[in-house]
Structure 1
Amino acid sequence: MTVNDDSFTDWKNREEIAESMIPLIGNLHREQDVTILLHSRSLVNKSVVSILKTHRFARQIAGEELSVTETLPFLKALTTLDLGPSQIDIGMLAATYRADERRLSVEEFTAEAVAGATGDNKIERREARDVVLYGFGRIGRLLARLLIEKAGSGNGLRLRAIVVREGGAQDIVKRASLLRRDSIHGQFQGTITVDEASGTIVANGNEIKMIYANDPSEVDYTAYGIKDAILIDNTGRWRDRAGLSQHLRPGVDKVVLTAPGKGDVLNVVHGVNHETIKPDERILSCASCTTNAIVPPLKAMADEYGVLRGHVETVHSFTNDQNLLDNYHKSDRRGRSAPLNMVITETGAASAVAKALPELDARITGSSIRVPVPDVSIAILSLRLARETTRDEVLEYLRNVSLTSPLKRQIDFTNAPDAVSSDFIGSRHASIVDAGATKVEGDDAILYLWYDNEFGYSCQVVRVVQHVSGVEYPTFPVPVA
């Protein structure tokens, strides 16, 4: 047998193992509301090749071998336990088991590591929480995709309605088509049908009512059977408490804004300050995509090295706020053609840091350039640290943060030498540290942070909604603080 034959045989064996994992992952998700992760990446509804690629990527960033042959025993062990709703990272289980010196069996170690999700510690399944989308643009449609995806277990969040201004003939058909096909994010994973007579979109069995209204005051959500809903305003039309309070109509309990909030509206970056949300808070903001991209790594660096001051320069993909061709715009420069120019503009991300990370006693400044790409941006974070360090130390620290810390869902890490922006389309992290571009000299550090300003941000929004709705299930093994 040749070397090539050996490689091919190994691949086929790993394919067979990955295929055997799919029904185990699916049953845990549907029957026990358990989401199986691999280093923060969900394996639910993934193909054989996707499972293998996720293992391969985990090996790359972890620097150690990790294959399906190692993770399958932990997955099998989980199927024997009476688990409650939770997220369980089999990559972390494999890594911590390898470092454990007690010589426990896989079954014993797994039962101990996820004990918080079993027995008296097990939380009960909760009723699905109604969600309403107010607006159905770029972020609204990605939120719809995520909410439909997360409804697979029949619990958690349930998208009940979408509120828009009617656009004319076949409005619902055209909006369903935009949900079905996306030029950047690809095809919707599943099936979508439209019932024009009832004004309903059915996506993967989820019935979603299309409500037409020009103003929040026109809608009584209880008329559609909606109760205690979380309404996500992704229009950006209102940003202060008075404006957003208009959404607190019959059937709506809380309002979440997908833009920076003004005044006393709490700006939340999941993973950093979401625990500060008070149970009785009814209006909050998820800040901006750039704020979500820079605050988690800024917190990580401040925790380990201290930060005296910093500057963030964002090189941001163009958005619908800009003009396709030169035309009037209320803002300076944004009226110039977005796909033809680099456009200097302002960013509120730097000033928003103080709202999400008030304990950071450092001045952070910021500026932004819009560039002719439709999605994925990069933030260049230049920091003066409180102590000197080395590039290798910073990279090793951030790599570990991305794998084992409470910020591992927010911060990703890549050491791919030829990474470019399109590689990060569809990333579910708030930002991705580019190891190859990182620069450190003494107490100066420059981090290059990629982020999918559409999808990664939408994932952060959904995490906040899950938290305030009470369906953000615990993750095991518990990340190291």
Structure 2
Amino acid sequence: MTVNDDSFTNWKNREEIAESMIPIIGKLHRERDVTVLVHSRSLVNKSVVSILKTHRFARQIAGEELSVTETLPFLQALTTLDLGPSQIDIGMLAATYKCDDRGLSVEAFTAEAVAGATGANKIECREGRDVVLYGFGRIGRLVARLLIEKSGSGNGLRLRAIVVRGGGDQDIVKRASLLRRDSIHGQFQGTITVDEATDTILANGNEIKVIYANDPSEIDYTAYGIKNAILIDNTGKWRDRAGLSEHLRPGIDKVVLTAPGKGDVPNIVHGVNHDTIKPDEQILSCASCTTNAIVPPLKAMDDEYGVLRGHVETVHSFTNDQNLLDNYHKADRRGRSAPLNMVITETGAASAVAKALPDLKAPITGSSIRVPVPDVSIAILSLRLGRETTREEVLDYLRNVSLTSPLKRQIDFTTAPDAVSSDFIGSRHASIVDAGATKVDGDNAILYLWYDNEFGYSCQVIRVVQHVSGVEYPTYPAPLA
């Protein structure tokens, strides 16, 4: 047998193992609300090839490929435990097991590592929390996809309704079609049917009422059986507390804005300051996509090196706020054709840093250029550090942050030499550190941070909603502090 034959046989063996993992992962998710991860990447509803690719990606951040032969025993060990709702990273289990010198069996080590999710310690499945989407544009539809994907056992977040303005004949059919097909993010993973008579979309078994209204004051959500719901405002029409409070109608308990909040509205970047949300807070903002991209790595760098000052330059994909062809726009330059020009514009991300990181005293400035790509942006973060360092030290530190720290769901890391923007479409992280582009000279560091300004941001929104709803389940093994 040739070497190539050996490689092919090895691949087929790994395919078989990955195939055997799928029903285990699905059953854990469906029956126990357990999400199986590999280095913060979910394996739920993934194909055989996707599972293998997720394992292979570990080489980008951990330095070596992770094999399904290494993780399968830990997955099998999970099936023997009395697990409650949780997220369990079998990639981290395999990695930490390698470093453990106590001679424990896989079963014993796994039981110890996830003890907080088992037996008397486990969280009991809660009654599902209703969610309403107000607006159904780019972010609204991606948030809807994520809510449907994460419905799991039915005990988490439940998308109950979407509020839009009436758009004429076949309005609901057209909106369902936009949910089903997306030019950037591809096909919806599942089935969608429409009942025009009752204004209902049925997506993967989730019954979603489409409510037509021109203003929040027109709606009594309890009339639709909705109670104690979290409303996600995707319109950006109201940004201050007074405006957003108009959503606090019967049936709505909290309002989450998918844009920077104004005045005293808390701007939340999950992973950084979500634990500061007061239990009785009813109005909050998830800040902007760019704020979510820069704040986690900025915090990580400040924690380790101290940051004296910084500047962020964002090269941002164009958005629906711009014009396809030259036409009037109330903002400077944004009236010029988005697909044909680079457009200098402002960003509020730098000033928003102070709200998310109040302990950071360093002045941060920022500017932005919109460019002719439909999705994925890059933030170039130039920092003056509190001490001198080296490029190797910074990269090792950020790689470890992406693997083991509490920010590992926000910060990703790539060493791919040919990485370009389209490679990061669908990334679930707030930002991805590009190792090859990183520059360090003494106390100056320049980080290049890719981010899917649509999907990655939507994932951050969902994490905030999960946190305030009480269905943000703990992750095991626990991230290192």
Q: What range describes the TM-score normalised by the shorter chain of this pair?
A: over 0.9
Number of residues paired by the alignment?
Answer: 481
Partner of 1:364: 364
Report SS of the residue matched to 2:194: strand
* Post-superposition offset of 1:448: 0.1
- CA drift of 1:247 comes to 0.0
Cα distance, 1:152 vs. partner? 2.5
User: Deviation string for 1:84-130 (max 9, x for gaps)?
Assistant: 10000000000000011111100010000000001221110001100
How far residue 61 of structure 1 moved from its aligned partner, in angstroms, is: 1.5
Partner Cα distance (1:190, 1:26) in 2:
15
Q: Which runs of 5+ in 2 are unaligned?
A: none
Cα distance between partner residues in 1 of 2:201 and 2:183: 20
Comparing 187-196 with 117-126, greater Cα deviation is found at 117-126
How far the C-alpha of 1:143 sits from its partner, in A, is: 0.3
Q: Quote how far apart the aligned CAs of 1:368 are.
A: 0.1
| Structure 1 residue 207 displacement after superposition | 0.4
Secondary structure of the residue aligned to 1:266 is: coil
Give the CA deviation at 1:155: 1.5
Structure-1 separation of matches of 2:458 and 2:65: 32
Deviation track 1:417-472 (CA, whole Å, cap 9, x = no partner) reads 00000000000000000000000000000000000000000000000000000000
Aligned equivalents of 1:473, 1:215: Cα separation in 2: 34
- Cα distance in 1 for residues equivalent to 2:120 and 2:4: 52
2 CA distance for matches of 1:123 and 1:421?
39
Please, which moves more after superposition, 145-154 or 340-349? 145-154
| SS of equivalent residue, structure 1 residue 427 | coil
CA offset at residue 58 of structure 1? 1.1
Deviations 1:125-161 (A, max 9, x none): 0011000000000000000000000002212100000
Contact 2:131 2:157 in 1 (8 A): yes
**In structure 1, the residue corresponding to 2:14 is in which secondary structure?**
helix
Supply the distance in 1 between the matched residues of 2:181 and 2:201 (Cα, whole angstroms): 14
1:59 Cα deviation from its structure 2 partner:
2.3
- Where 2:440 maps in the other structure, the secondary structure is strand
Deviation, structure 1 residue 65: 3.6
1:375-422 Cα shifts (integer Å, max 9, x gaps): 000000000000000000000000000000000000000000000000
Trace 1:306-317 onto structure 2 (pairs within 5 A). Answer: 306-317=306-317
What is the CA–CA distance in structure 1 between the aligned matches of 2:60 and 2:236, rounded to whole Å? 39
Please give the secondary structure, in 1, of the residue aligned with 2:445: strand
| Aligned mates of 1:101, 1:420 — CA distance in 2 | 41
**Distance in structure 1 (CA, Å) of the matches to 2:401 and 2:193:** 42
Q: Given that residues 233 and 256 in structure 2 are in contact (C-alpha distance below 8 angstroms), is that contact kept between their aligned partners in structure 1?
A: yes
CA distance in 2: counterparts of 1:335 and 1:204, whole angstroms: 40
Aligned to 1:123: 123
Partner of 2:217: 217
How far is 1:66 from its partner? 1.4
Task: State the partner residue of 1:68.
Answer: 68
Deviations 1:154-188 (A, max 9, x none): 12100000000011110000000000000000000
Distance in 1 of aligned mates of 2:99 and 2:224: 53
Query: Corresponding residue for 2:114?
Result: 114
Is the 2:382–2:444 contact (alpha carbons within 8 Å) kept by the matching residues of 1? Answer: yes
Q: Is the 8 A contact 2:33 2:152 kept in 1?
A: no
Secondary structure, counterpart of 2:44 in structure 1: coil
Partner of 1:310, secondary structure, is strand
* C-alpha contact (below 8 Å) 2:55/2:65 kept by paired residues: no
1:60 CA displacement: 2.5
Give, in whole Å, the separation in 2 of the partners of 1:156 and 1:123.
12
Q: Distance in 2 between matches of 1:419 and 1:80?
A: 41
Cα offset, 1:55, TM superposition: 0.3
Q: Structure 1: which 4+ aligned runs deviate by more than 4 Å?
A: none
Q: Distance in 2 between matches of 1:148 and 1:59?
A: 31
- What SS class does the counterpart of residue 19 from structure 2 fall into? helix
Structure 1 stretches lacking a partner, 5+ long: none
Distance in 1 (alpha carbons) for counterparts of 2:75 and 2:154: 22
Using the size of structure 2 for normalisation, the TM-score is 1.00
